[in-house]
Chains A and B, each alone.
Chain A
Amino acid sequence: MIKLSSIVEEYMREEERLDSAYYDLYLDYASTGLRDMSYDVSGVVRQDIVAVNTDNNTADLPTDLVKLVGISAFDSSGKLIALSRNNDLFKGLDDCGNAVGTSSGAVDSSSSFGFPSGARHFRDGSITGAFYGLGGTSVFGEYRYNKEYNRIELSTYSSLSNLVIEYISNVRKVNGSFLVHEYLIEPLKNWIELVSKRRKRNISKNEINYLEDVYNRSKYVAKLRFSSISFKEMKDLSRRSFMQSPKF
């Protein structure tokens, strides 16, 4: 890993800029490039534990979340057990706009099967059926991803106190500095070149297109490098999945 500032200094040496004029701008451009590449090239799925507010079964998501990948609970062996996503869940709001439980005013939707089939089988005041077969949903509960409030809302039959969220995050600093993977050095330098010129009126459209091509090509090469896999890694993966049980 290499510091972002080192990449900017490297770029400035290539540009024959030995003083610090433009450094602040280039460093800012580099951080936006890092963000751009974290979406589809270098972004790793981050795992975090978030506490569930047991009063209303919601959990606030991290502010650096860009894309949610999955929500799970974990058992005593540390194995993740995914929760089911259900967009039909509802959390009411109190006068202050906070999520509240739905016990008051809720209809009794418990079925004779002892399975919480949920309100979705109530149509016009009558039970219209149930799930085909039983099960099919996570035993740990269901969740809804509320993008408006950036939180997870759990169904009332889940009694989890912690969740593991997997997500692609925005870029983060480590010990006050951005640390960048070596594969991203070239794309980042090309990004700085592109961003520092693309809004200038005296730069021709052709040159901007060329710089965009150069950046995209270097990004593609970085992506290939990230996704390459060694023969040994491949063998290890095949060993792990060599089981009699059905493959997933």
Chain B
Amino acid sequence: MNTKRDYAFQLMDLLYPTPTSDAKLEMDIAMLAISQAADQVRIEEIYRLKSLGSNIIPSNYLSTFDKNIFPKYDEGRCEWYIDLPAKVLALPNNQGLQQVAFKKHREQVIRVVSPMYLSAFKNSLTKDLDGDYACYIDGWRIYFINDLDEETELLVRMLASANDIGEFDYFPIDGGIESRMLEKAASLYGVQKKIPQDLTNNNESE
């Protein structure tokens, strides 16, 4: 199974088949290029599927975080929160944050709502969401509208920004869009290959 690092190697191989002294793409930059291209093609593919009537995000594109995610209490706001394990890709109505659940009781739903939920729904008959828990993204945190405790372990499933995914972790992309991702990354960084560079500091491009 390919990781971000594998794709970065492939990109470097595409752009510079034989390593030479003018190979200007370093591994970190290659991984960044792969991440940015991966985010773009995933979003494009999700919108393509939406245009066909499907609102389900392919499972391959999702990342699940379930290790040691425990709520903490924000004294200033009097709300429980967890730190976002990765940046969420933006889709309408926070669809990028697919699921926040109790790790051992995943059937108990925690609804993802807008940060303005409390004020926008204050006069709604359904402001308590029919008894369900609710949370919302605010910056680098997910805040909860209901009370939790420090012992409750949570699970987060999201369309995570590929840049926040470790180089050896599961990379949320599938074979159907791999080549498009590499193509985008290569077209972005292929430009610099053509820029003449003075490699030996003799005021001549080589």
Q: Are B121 and A22 in contact (CB under 8 A)?
A: no
Contact A24 B109 (CB under 8 A): no
- Find out whether the CB atom of B111 lies under 8 angstroms from the CB atom of A20: yes
Interface magnitude class on chain A: 20 to 34
Instruction: Tell me if A171 and B125 are in contact (CB < 8 A).
Output: yes
Residues A178 and B112 in contact, CB atoms below 8 Å apart: no
Per-residue A-contact encoding for B63-98, CB less than 8 Å = 1, 0 else:
000000000000000000000000000011111011
Please determine whether A18 and B111 come into contact, CB atoms closer than 8 angstroms. Answer: no
Of B8-16, B127-135, B180-188, the stretch lying at the interface with chain A is B127-135
Shortest distance between the CB of B55 and any CB in chain A (Å) = 5
> Which chain A residue shows the least CB distance to B91?
A21
A21 with B94, Cβ < 8 A, contacts A3-B130, A5-B132, A177-B130 known = yes
Contact B129 A27 (CB under 8 A): yes
A15 to B95, CA, bound (A): 14
For window 99-146 of B, CB contacts with A under 8 Å fall at: 99, 109-114, 117, 121, 124-126, 128-132, 134
B53 interface residue per 8 A CB criterion: yes
How many angstroms between the C-alpha atoms of A27 and B134 in the bound complex?
13
Whether B54 sits at the interface, judged by CB under 8 Å, is: yes
Supposing A19-B98, A20-B112, A23-B111 touch, asked if A28 and B126 sit within 8 A by C-beta, the answer is: yes
Minimal beta-carbon separation of B23 from chain A (angstroms): 43
Residues of A within 8 A of B114 (CB): 24
In the complex, whether B56 has a CB less than 8 A from a CB of chain A is: yes
A4-B130, A19-B98 known; A28+B121 contact, CB < 8 A: yes
Residues of chain B whose beta carbon lies under 8 Å from any beta carbon of chain A: 53-57, 91-95, 97-99, 109-114, 117, 121, 124-126, 128-132, 134
* 11 A–B contacts, CB within 8 A, in A order: A16-B55, A17-B56, A18-B56, A20-B112, A21-B112, A23-B129, A24-B126, A24-B129, A173-B125, A176-B131, A178-B130
